[in-house]
Amino acid sequence: MVKVLIIGSGPAGYTAAIYACRSGLAPVVYEGLLSGGQLTQTTEIENFPGYPEGITGPELMDNIRNHALKLGADIRSGFITKVDFAEEAGKPHRAYVDDGTVIEAQTIIIATGASAKYLGLDDEKKYAGMGVSACATCDGFFYRKRVVAVVGGGDTACEEATYLAGLARKVYLIVRRNVLRASEKSAQRVKETPNIEILWECQTEGLFGEDGLEGAHLVRGKGTDHEERFDIDIDGFFLAIGHHPNTEVFRHAVECDEAGYIKVKHPTTATNIPGVFAAGDVADPLYRQAISAAGSGCHAAMDAERYLQAL
């Protein structure tokens, strides 16, 4: 039996562990498939407070992880394969680990994050951190006065293209269809931005470059009588086709929205199950930033402490 079980790592999970340790709750953390979360796949980070010269994603996560360890967090490798949540307040929850361990916990903080959706090209992995990104807010600064492309036709793609247009010299918006799925306001803003060029009915077939990304291979009207292949020269390639919240293990128990993000009772991090809380990108379809994830990890640990005090 543990007081607090934190499922997942990253800024939310590790920050929750820091606050839980300081409250004397002796948290156990299972890091999941990717120790440190999505930030470990990011190169330079220049928008996390306290690092004016910037820091790499792996370094930042090591720092936060080591902070939690120093305070006494029990951080373990492994991932949760099944959960059995009690619906009555005060009853223990059970989590089943891939190595056969069964954990009983008075409270659980879910911090499993959300994974960016990719096109599935081998080149996306090849140029990861060398031109390919799934977060314009995180990495757009590195492409000031340069040429970038954004893939997608929804609100997220339009918002990211507009954001990048304020930094980059030119932005290509690669849209698979001949219309934008975004709201009328977002779509109109894109169309009125002079340095955004929309490439209609286009799909990306590959990326190229010697020591980093230099361009993309595109096809327009694939499978039609007007099919056309061409290349564009770009320095950055941004995926904006959505995120996938890592909630499959929990969806039978906790309430989620139609996209799979866990619903919380704002302004708290409480879910519909007493003693179960959610922090970070797993419950955040809007911001998805390291600093906001860390903040919600703090909130979740404080919510768990207050829940335990009230029992």
Q: Which residues are catalytic?
A: 135, 138-139
d(CA 294, CA 80): 21
CA 269, chain centre distance (Å) = 17
Q: Is the peptide bond before 285 cis (omega within 30 degrees of 0)?
A: no
Question: Before 267, cis peptide (omega within 30)?
Answer: yes
φ and ψ at 165, to 5 degrees? -60, -25
Euclidean distance between CA atoms 308 and 302, whole angstroms: 10
Taking each helix axis from N to C terminus, what angle separates 57-70 and 10-22, rounded to the nearest 10 degrees? 20
Look at residue 76 and give its three-state secondary structure: strand
Record the tokens describing residue 217, joined without a space: 């291979």
HSE toward the beta carbon, residue 266, CA cutoff 13 A? 4
Three-state DSSP at 282 gives helix
Angle at 145 between CA 201 and CA 237, to 5 degrees: 40
> What is the helix (H) or strand (E) element at residue 187, kind and residue range?
helix 184-191
Beta-bridge partners for 198: 173
What does the chain come to in residues? 311
